[in-house]
């Protein structure tokens, strides 16, 4: 029954978006701010058109995405919890994202991973009021509009579940004959202490007609 209700809620949310006037926060964002997007369905492939937005990011060279996420997450978490110019807590948002470059972009097994925290809607509309990070590794990054294909999955985002979702998404892209960029994003929507009904996603950016 819970699955049926979740599907119906999702269909209502997609239908509401088609009205094109108001942003409806999806259920997996819960009560937290998250990036604004519009959804397009291509058969069983979900494509999202994300608005341009500001993120706090940390880039880190590593041989492991897990090590890089652990390193960068704590830096960004500290920034949101008061290690900034105003010693002010910034409301937590979702998702936490990790950009994972393709292995072709590595040098001797080392890749440049980027972890990002979405900045709350208040600062999206007034970025000049954002407290400055004390840690120089943190960059405030303006991400341009993006068109991404999405595959969701439950449980913890460990290597096996993430790779399974990535493979499913690539298969759907091939069926839909969509050209895409190398590398992908892992998006995690729940804190590590939540055990059940977790929501994660894999994003792959689609190429534009000019690319």
Predicted confidence (pLDDT) per residue in 15-34, tens digit = 444 445 578 899 999 999 99
Per-residue model confidence (pLDDT) at position 114: 98
Rounded Cα distance between 75 and 30, Å, is 24
Q: What is the mean pLDDT of the chain?
A: 91
Q: Which residue has the tokens 């939540």?
A: 194
Residue 190 tokens read as 């729940």
Peptide bond into 95 cis (omega under 30): yes
Kindly report, residue by residue over 62-79, the tens digit of the pLDDT.
Answer: 999 999 999 999 999 999
Could you count the other beta carbons within 10 Å of the beta carbon of residue 18? Answer: 8
Q: How far apart are the first and last CA of the chain?
A: 44
Per-residue pLDDT at 36 exceeds 70: yes
Query: What single-letter DSSP state applies at residue 12?
Result: H
Phi and psi dihedrals of 3, rounded to 5? -65, -45
Phi and psi dihedrals of 145, rounded to 5? -55, 140
Average pLDDT of the residues in 188-194 = 94
Rounded Cα distance between 55 and 147, Å, is 17
Which domains does the chain carry?
A: 2-51+144-205 (no CATH), 53-143 (3.20.80.10)
Residue 65 tokens read as 């995405």
Per-residue model confidence (pLDDT) at position 89: 98
Q: What's the pLDDT band for 209 if we cut at 50, 70, 90?
A: confident
Per-residue model confidence (pLDDT) at position 21: 56
Q: What's the pLDDT band for 2 if we cut at 50, 70, 90?
A: very low
Average pLDDT of the residues in 80-84 = 98
Per-residue pLDDT at 7 exceeds 50: no
Rounded Cα distance between 170 and 45, Å, is 10
Rounded Cα distance between 196 and 65, Å, is 24
Supply the pTM of this predicted model: 0.89
Per-residue pLDDT at 118 exceeds 90: yes
Cα–Cα–Cα angle for 53, 205, 37, nearest 5°? 40
Per-residue pLDDT at 143 exceeds 60: yes
Provide Rg for the chain, Cα atoms.
17
Query: What is the separation of C-alpha 67 from the centre of its chain, rounded to a whole number of angstroms?
Result: 18
- Pairing verdict, β 146-153 and 45-50: antiparallel
């Amino acid at each position: 029954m819970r699955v049926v209700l979740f599907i119906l809620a999702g269909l209502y949310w997609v239908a509401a978006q088609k009205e094109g006037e108001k942003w409806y926060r999806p259920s997996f964002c819960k009560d937290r701010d998250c990036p604004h997007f519009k959804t397009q369905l291509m058969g069983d492939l979900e494509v999202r058109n994300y608005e341009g937005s500001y993120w706090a990011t940390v880039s880190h060279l590593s041989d492991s995405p897990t090590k890089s996420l652990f390193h960068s997450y704590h830096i960004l978490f500290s920034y949101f919890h008061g290690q900034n110019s105003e010693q002010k807590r910034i409301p937590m948002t979702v998702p936490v994202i990790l950009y994972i470059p393709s292995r072709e972009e590595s040098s001797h097994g080392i890749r440049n991973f980027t972890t990002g925290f979405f900045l709350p809607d208040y600062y999206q509309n007034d970025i000049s009021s954002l407290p400055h990070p004390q840690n120089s590794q943190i960059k405030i990054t303006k991400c341009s509009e993006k068109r991404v294909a999405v595959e969701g999955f439950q449980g913890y985002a460990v290597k096996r579940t993430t790779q399974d979702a990535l493979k499913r998404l690539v298969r759907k892209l091939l069926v839909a004959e969509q050209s895409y960029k190398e590398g992908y994003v892992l998006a995690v929507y729940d804190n590590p202490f939540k055990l059940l009904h977790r929501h994660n996603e894999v994003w792959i950016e689609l190429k534009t007609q000019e690319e």
